Chains A and B, each alone.
Chain A
Amino acid sequence: VGIMEPTLVRVPKCASTLGIAVEGGANTRQPLPRIATIQKGGSAHISGQLRVGQVILEVNGVSLKGMEHRDATRVIAEAFKTKDKDYVDFLIAEFN
């Protein structure tokens, strides 16, 4: 349904926040987390690759499919917080 090829986007942790607002999750009208806004000055804004409206399929290889909002956002927050990596990998789907 208008879904484009998933794209891997690597966001370096170049600011103190990731700087995205996310909506959606299992059992809501938006079953996969969707980027609602991008905050100026956050890592996502600075790296310039994420866009409002994109849907996040995976974070560091972890699928968000079937996860409720709270769990999906926790996965994203922990991926940004962990000191194991200085980046977060997002598998993104675009809709046209």
Chain B
Amino acid sequence: REKRLTLPPSEITLL
């Protein structure tokens, strides 16, 4: 769970 919280947010791409 701690590891999950350290993951960065994703960028968003318009397709």
- Interface, chain A (partner B; CB < 8 A): 17-25, 27-30, 36-37, 39, 69, 73, 76-77, 80
Contacts and interface: CB of A to CB of B under 8 A. Distances in A.
A76 B10 contact: no
A69 B10 contact: yes
Contact of A28 (B9, B13, B14): B9
Interface of B: 4, 7-15
B14 A23 contact: no
Contact of A23 (B4, B7, B12): B12
A22 B12 contact: yes
A29 B4 CA distance: 7
Contacts of B15: 17-22, 73, 76-77, 80
